[in-house]
Amino acid sequence: MKSYTFPGNIENEILQIGAQQIPYMRTAEFSTLVKQSEQMLLELIKCPNGRVIFYTASGTGAMEAAVTNFVTQRRKAYIIAGGSFGYRWKNLCEYYACPNDVFEVPFAKDIDYDKLEEAVMESQPDVFLCQHHETSTGQLFDLEKISKICHRHHIYLVVDVISSFLADPLDMDALGIDMCITSSQKGLNIAPGLSFVVLSERMLKEPFAQRGYYFDFVENLKNLERGQTPYSPATSLFMQLHARLEKDLLMGVEAIIDGVRENAHYFRRLCKENGWEVPAEIPSNCITGFFVHRNGDVLFTELLKQQIYIMPGGTPHYFRVSHLGVQTKEDLDELATCIKEIENR
């Protein structure tokens, strides 16, 4: 099987951890594993004095936690909606009755940052919610520009970096981001099931609302002091996470990102050679979104017959190929050949 979805192909060494007996989690050993994982995550995301709340939940769980614990405390949110993940922030705000304004960004386009600042000044929000990479279109937003707008107007910045973490450069402290959300099945390249809220040093002085039992920040932070989660963690996933983080730190963030970028650029060259349009104005390294010319209605299922998984894009003839996980140039050559063959049938 070849996976160009999330988490992508995983090396055997990490997969095998999932086949081991599952240790009891209320032990000093497991606490050490959690504490070390927190430190390693903070180092990779460049927020050494922050904290990480670990949830046994997919990424949306951590997004929801950000809304219930923090956004509901504030008067108004401002949301960038450049695709389905941006609208997820909107839906969460609506669900919890948080007042919000939305800045819509056309499919696969970058933000007009001057217009954004004008709109923000008009809206006067206290919290800004956005994605770094809008995974539905492949568009990467400019966090430096967003962060400057937020700081000029004293707005808290909460960023969903779920699909950009370890794919695109990200320095949480340098950008002055207050809260980052990420999860296990994207750049960390392990199974889905864990998500993380990274709180900056400044956020740790903030009061949090206690509006959701399982996701409560205060209860989770209290347990974190002893390296524990309040409820049963996905123990095997934590073990895989720890192993992954050790490998990632050994390799270094820059080298990891270079690898993902190289594959992304290589596949985009293949797209160009085959005449497949890549619509993203500023594409993330994480995925390549592209349009095929023919047989888009059967491409997904035809590739499945060959045990090749790519992601349908929600728009006719539009597909997404992830560059996360174990992937070689030969794999990408083969993928392009298979797509071309189906297209020409």
Residue 163 or 228: which CB sits closer to ligand PLP? 163
Residue 131 or 240: which CB sits closer to ligand PLP? 131
State the Cα–Cα distance between residues 279 and 110, nearest whole angstrom: 11
Q: Which of residues 163-182 bind ligand PLP (CB under 6 A)?
A: 163
Which stretch in 46-54, 56-64, 211-219, 228-236 sits in contact with ligand PLP by CB under 6 A? Answer: 56-64
Q: Which of residues 241-300 bind ligand PLP (CB under 6 A)?
A: none
Task: Find the helix or strand (DSSP H, E) in which 120 lies.
Answer: helix 113-123
State the Cα–Cα distance between residues 308 and 304, nearest whole angstrom: 5
For ligand PLP, the binding residue among 58, 223, 295, 306 (CB under 6 A) is 58
| 141 touches ligand PLP (CB under 6 A) | no
Of how many residues is the chain composed? 345
Which stretch in 58-66, 101-109, 233-241, 312-320 sits in contact with ligand PLP by CB under 6 A? Answer: 58-66
| Whole-number Cα distances in Å, 39 to 78, 88, 104, 229, 323 | 31, 29, 36, 16, 26
Q: How far is the CB of 178 from ligand PLP (least distance, A)?
A: 17
| 183 touches ligand PLP (CB under 6 A) | yes
Residue 110 or 302: which CB sits closer to ligand PLP? 110
| 229 touches ligand PLP (CB under 6 A) | no
Residue 241 or 270: which CB sits closer to ligand PLP? 241
Q: Round to the nearest angstrom and report the end-to-end CA distance of the chain.
A: 23
Q: Strand 308-309 and strand 2-3: pairing?
A: parallel
CB-count exposure of residue 19 (10 Å: 0-12, 13-18, 19+): exposed
| 131 touches ligand PLP (CB under 6 A) | yes
Nearest Cα residue to 174 out of 51, 46, 48, 43: 46
Interacting residues toward ligand PLP by CB under 6 A: 58-60, 85, 131, 135, 160, 162-163, 183, 186, 192
